[in-house]
Chains A and B, each alone.
Chain A
Amino acid sequence: AQTVTQSQPEMSVQEAETVTLSCTYDTSESDYYLFWYKQPPSRQMILVIRQEAYKQQNATENRFSVNFQKAAKSFSLKISDSQLGDAAMYFCAYRSGDTGNQFYFGTGTSLTVIP
């Protein structure tokens, strides 16, 4: 089974600053999809950004962007101009392109935004 590793249990950032959350994964597949989800205290998981493995261009969504390094199996999330509302748990997830029934999630990174 694929594994997803988030090595930073907790991170903090000053409001308006930039923070990068790391994620690595282990797979032998060439076709897959990667996701970052945000889970605020309300527990509602929300998709932040996603990346197809066959695309070399890094995905961006407003203040959120990824650094996808396929050879290194790394998928980090960069949050620019951090806002108080960005405070949440962030989960990295992997989905196979071939047998894509399951999503594999990391253990999450708790992000604190300091005013």
Chain B
Amino acid sequence: GAGVSQSPSNKVTEKGKDVELRCDPISGHTALYWYRQSLGQGLEFLIYFQGNSAPDKSGLPSDRFSAERTGGSVSTLTIQRTQQEDSAVYLCASSPRGLGFAEQFFGPGTRLTVL
């Protein structure tokens, strides 16, 4: 398919474990975003990648959260020592360019449940 894909679609983990969430953006899109969506809440910005520039990490809630983007394509969001408050849907989006009018194309999200 040509859309943004995310894996896994659902992840259940125990408190204290590390998890990795994957995002495959649309081919050729230079911008990639991670968001967190808690129940009944809007989207909380986490991190933004644009081409080869240093990522904008200003939304990461703690140092347990990190993300990388390899080769300007696939991105992995890692949460270390998960806590129950990390339970949420994690959405990835890509965009053909980083500024201006360009819309974001979203993946289906990963629902993370921390027991």
Contacts and interface: CB of A to CB of B under 8 A. Distances in A.
Interface of A: 4, 6, 33, 35, 37, 42-47, 50, 52, 91, 93, 97, 100-108
Contacts, number: 57
B103 interface: yes
Interface stretch (B21-29, B43-51, B69-77): B43-51
B100 A101 contact: no
A20 B107 CA distance: 27
Contact of B45 (A33, A43, A102, A107): A102
B109 A50 contact: no
Interface string B79-108: 000000000010101000011110110111
A103 B33 contact: yes
A102 B100 CA distance: 11
B93 A101 contact: no
B106 A106 contact: no
A91 B42 contact: yes
B74 to A, nearest CB: 20
Given A97-B100, A100-B98, A102-B48, A45 B106 contact: yes
Which residue among A6, A37, A45, A93 has the maximum number of chain B CB atoms within 10 Å of its CB? A45
Closest 6 CB pairs of A and B: A45-B106, A105-B43, A105-B42, A107-B42, A100-B99, A47-B103
B112 to A, nearest CB: 13
A100 B101 CA distance: 9
A107 B100 contact: no
B42 A101 contact: no
B100 A44 contact: no
Contacts of A45: 91, 93, 104, 106
Contacts of A97: 99-100
